[in-house]
Chain A
C-alpha cells in the first residue's frame, strides 16, 4: 500500500518544503500537505510530520501557540491511536508543548543561534525511526536553532534513559541540553522529536546523507508492518 504521510504547515514553518522532499524521496509518495487551521487530518495515515521553523513567530514560547492550533488536537488524537509522529526542530518544540513528549526546549545556554553540522550518536536503534541505523552509530546532522536546550527534571531524565527513550545524543552539543539529549521518543516509540534536521542531510549535495536512514526507516518500517 502506498505510504501516506501528512505534513503540517504552521504560519512561520520554513522547513516544510525540505521535509516534503525528504519524505517523497524516501517513500516515492508526495506527502499530503495540511494547514494548521484544519481541524481534521486525512484518514489512514502512516506518518504525521511537523516541520522546523518559527511557528507563530515563537510568540509566548517556541511551539506554544502551534501546540494549541486546531490541527494539533487531531495530531494528539491520532498519536493516541498509535499513528507515528515525527517532529523536527520547531516540530519537537510543538510536541513538548502539546504534551506528546516530556520536557521542554529552553534558550540555548550560550544565548546564540547555533547553525552547524553536529555529530550525534544513535542511542536507540529499535524504534520505527531509528532501526536502519546501527546501535551507537555516529552520524552527522545539521542543527539550526536558538531554543534547543533540552530540559526535563532528573526523574524524567532517568525515566527516559532507563526506557531507552533517548533516540539521539549530541557528541558535541553546545546548546546546554540536559545529558546532551538531541532527540527523544514517547513511551510507545511511535513519536519522535529531535532538534537536528535530518531532512537537511538526505542528498549528497547537502554535504551528507546521514538523515536518509531515518526517513527510510519510517517508510519501510511501516510498509513492512
Chain B
C-alpha cells in the first residue's frame, strides 16, 4: 500500500522559502499569486495491515515536527498491475 504524507508549515510560521519562490514567480511575470507555502511530500510503501494509528505515530515521532508543521495522511488507491489489453 502506498501512503502519501503531506507535511506543511503551520499557519503563522514564517516560510522564507515560500516567500522566495513567491518573489521568483513574480519576477517571471506571473501575476496574481497571493501567497506561496512550500511543504514536503513523503511517500511510504507500507504493508497492507499498517494502521492509521501507526502512520500517525510515524508522523508525530519523526516525519513532522509538531511545533512548526501539520501533516495529512493520504492512503493511495492501489494502482495494481495493469493487465495488457
Chain A interfacial positions (CB closer than 8 Å to B): 60-61, 64, 68, 96-97, 102-104, 106-111, 149, 151-153, 176
A111-B16, A111-B20 known; A68 vs B62 contact (CB < 8 Å):
yes
By a CB distance below 8 angstroms, the chain A residues around B68 are 104, 106, 151
A149 and B14 CA atoms in complex are apart in Å by 10
Partner of A97, one of B17, B19, B65: B65
A60 and B63 within 8 A (CB): yes
- Closest chain B residue, CB of each to CB of A107: B16
Binary contact track B1-28/A, C-beta < 8 Å → 1, others 0: 0000000000001101101100000000
B13 to A, closest residue via Cβ: A151
- List, in ascending order, chain A residues with CB within 8 A of B54's CB: none
Please tell me if B33 contacts chain A, counting CB pairs below 8 Å: no
Closest 7 CB pairs of A and B: A104-B67, A111-B16, A104-B68, A107-B16, A111-B20, A109-B16, A104-B65
Minimum distance in angstroms from B50 CB to a CB of chain A: 19
Name the A residues within 8 Å of B19 (CB-CB).
Answer: 111
